[in-house]
Amino acid sequence: MPITCYLLSPRGYCSGVTRAVNMANQVLKLYGSFYVTEDVIHNKVFVKQLEQQGMTKVESIDDIPDGATVLFSAHGVSPRVVDRAEKKGLTVIDATCPIVKSIQNEVKLASEQGKKIIIIGHKSHAEIVALMGCANNTKFYVVYNEIDIDLLPDFSDDEVVYFTQTTLDYSMVERIVTKLTEKFPKIKSGSKNNVCYATRERQDVVRRVAKQIDLLLVIGSSHSSNAKRLIEVALDSGVKKAILIESKDDLDVDELLNVNSMAITSAASTPEGLVQDLVVYLREKFDIVTKEFSFHDDTKR
């Protein structure tokens, strides 16, 4: 019996990543080289290609030579970093995703209005570090789970707004927001972009296919938040095995023993070429039949 292999759609590059990738390629064409303080996108294969073509990653803006070009990643940077780059006279190319940019502006405004700000996300993720930098006029808190919420001081009399990292599991965010609302009954969402449409769509199609598969392969980098969330969503939705691989080279073919039906998806920062390479590789090794499986819920746009 051949293995049925569903190719999920949507998968791979979201609009923000496509834009950042195009900007990085254009900057290389125009200037021949550029510097970053954060990976342009969270994909090791793509970042390695950029390094070979002229991109250099440094610790801080101060490490960039005068007169050079700096490119800010799709995740955005704190306003302080932008200031430092401009004061240093660097050529600044800002590849921050427009959705992230709009959330940054909403955080800035809420901060200027003196609202208490709660950000749901990973403290060390570049997007959250940048958001924290936008909230420096007021007190803000970062939470990721219910324990973090329990530890928050009680400021329920204040105006409180929450924002989320754009790449979280949105059903997990709903649970966190419910818990936040118990503690801060007047809390409001600070943005309509909490968990962005691209993240939701990629998670939705995994939930849809879950009952039909024994295995999900997610192609993405181990430091990609949305890649890791796809694994969690699959396991949460009843898929027995979900594996994150950087590329076909990471796949242990024994994982496909006793698999009758599987699916492949990729993170919002994964180049489509890596998916196609995997499909070719699987066809060489196994008797597989590929089928497209797509699910679009326009109400989430």
- 127 counts as catalytic: yes
Residue from 37, 69, 167, 265 touching ligand SF4 (CB under 6 A): that is: 167
Q: Closest approach of Cβ 252 to ligand SF4, in Å?
A: 29
C-alpha triplet 247, 124, 187: angle, nearest 5°: 115
Helix intervals (H) in the chain:
15-31, 44-53, 79-87, 98-112, 126-134, 146-150, 170-183, 197-209, 225-236, 272-285
Spatial CB neighbours of 213, under 8 Å, sequence gap ≥ 6:
6, 239, 261, 262, 263
Minimal distance, residue 20 CB to ligand SF4, in Å: 7
CA atoms within 13 A on the CB side of 18: 7
Q: Which residue is nearest to ligand SF4 (CB)?
A: 16
x/- site string to ligand SF4, residues 99 to 128, per CB under 6 A? xx----------------------------
If DSSP codes are grouped into helix, strand and coil, which group holds residue 267? Answer: coil
Closest distance of CB 271 from ligand SF4, Å: 14
Question: Mask 258-277, x = binds ligand SF4 (CB under 6 A)?
Answer: ----------x---------
Exactly one of 27, 196, 215, 256 binds ligand SF4 (CB under 6 A); which one? 196
Closer CB to ligand SF4, 18 or 91, in the complex: 18
Contact flag: residue 16 with ligand SF4 (CB under 6 A): yes
Both tokens assigned to 152? 């928050």
Stretch that binds ligand SF4, among 15-23, 55-63, 130-138, 229-237 (CB under 6 A): 15-23
| Residue 199 interacts with ligand SF4 (CB under 6 A): yes or no | yes
Contacts with 254 (C-beta within 8 Å, 6 or more apart), sequence order: none
* Strand, helix or coil for residue 107: helix
| DSSP codes, 290-301 | EEEEE---GGG-
List the one residue from 36, 40, 50, 74 that touches ligand SF4 (CB under 6 A).
Answer: 74
Say whether residue 97 binds ligand SF4 (CB under 6 A).
yes
Main-chain phi, psi angles of 59, to 5 degrees: -70, -45
Piece in contact with ligand SF4 (CB under 6 A), picked from 63-71, 143-151, 196-204, 271-279:
196-204
Whole-number Å distance between alpha carbons of 45 and 47: 6
Largest CA distance in the chain: 64
Q: Contact between 135 and ligand SF4 (CB under 6 A)?
A: no
Active-site choice (127, 174, 232, 284): 127
Give 228's contacts (C-beta < 8 A, 6+ positions apart): 220, 222, 244
Region 42-71 residues binding ligand SF4, contact defined as CB under 6 A: none
Active site residue ranges:
127
Binding site for ligand SF4 (CB under 6 A): 14-17, 74, 97, 99-100, 166-167, 196, 198-199, 268
